[in-house]
Amino acid sequence: MSDLPLIRLEKVYKIYKMGESKVRALYGVSLDIHQGEMLAIMGSSGSGKSTLMNILGCLDRPTKGRYLLSGEDIGDLSDNELAAIRNKRLGFVFQSFNLLKRTSAIENVELPMVYSGAKNRSERAMEALEKVKLGDRYKHKPSELSGGEQQRVAIARAIVTDPDIVLADEPTGNLDSKVSAEIMEIFCQFNDAGKTIILVTHERDIAAYATRVVTLFDGKIKSDVPQNSIHCRPIEVNT
Separation between Cα atoms, residue 172 and residue 199, nearest integer Å: 10
Helix, strand, or coil (residue 213): strand
Among 7, 39, 47, 210, binds ligand ADP (CB under 6 A): 47
43 binds, among ligand ADP, Mg ion, none (CB under 5 to 8 A by kind): ligand ADP
Binding residues for ligand ADP restricted to 151-170, rule: CB under 6 A: none
115 binds, among ligand ADP, Mg ion, none (CB under 5 to 8 A by kind): none
Residue type, 27: Y
Q: Does 62 bind ligand ADP (CB under 6 A)?
A: no
**Quick check: 7 and 32 in contact, CB under 8 A?**
yes
Separation between Cα atoms, residue 157 and residue 215, nearest integer Å: 28
- Express the helix, strand and coil content of the chain in percent, nearest 5 each: 35, 30, 35
Q: Does 28 bind ligand ADP (CB under 6 A)?
A: no
How far CA 63 is from CA of 27, 33, 140, 169, in Å, comes to: 10, 21, 42, 21
Among 39, 43, 50, 134, binds Mg ion (CB under 5 A): 50
**Quick check: 40 and 99 in contact, CB under 8 A?**
no
Q: Does 25 bind ligand ADP (CB under 6 A)?
A: yes
Give the range of 49-57, 66-74, 157-165, 184-192 binding Mg ion by CB under 5 A.
49-57
Q: How many CA atoms lie within 13 A of 203 on its CB side?
A: 16
Strand partners, 226: 212
Q: Which is nearer to ligand ADP, 45 or 228 (CB)?
A: 45
Among 16, 71, 139, 222, binds ligand ADP (CB under 6 A): 16
Q: Which is nearer to Mg ion, 49 or 86 (CB)?
A: 49
Size of the site for ligand ADP (CB under 6 A): 12
Q: Which residues of 19-162 form beta strands (DSSP E)?
A: 21-33, 38-42, 64-69, 72-73, 90-94
Give the range of 49-57, 68-76, 129-137, 151-159 binding ligand ADP by CB under 6 A.
49-57
Q: Which is nearer to Mg ion, 95 or 196 (CB)?
A: 95
Binding site for ligand ADP (CB under 6 A): 16, 18, 23, 25, 43, 45-51
Binding site for Mg ion (CB under 5 A): 49-50
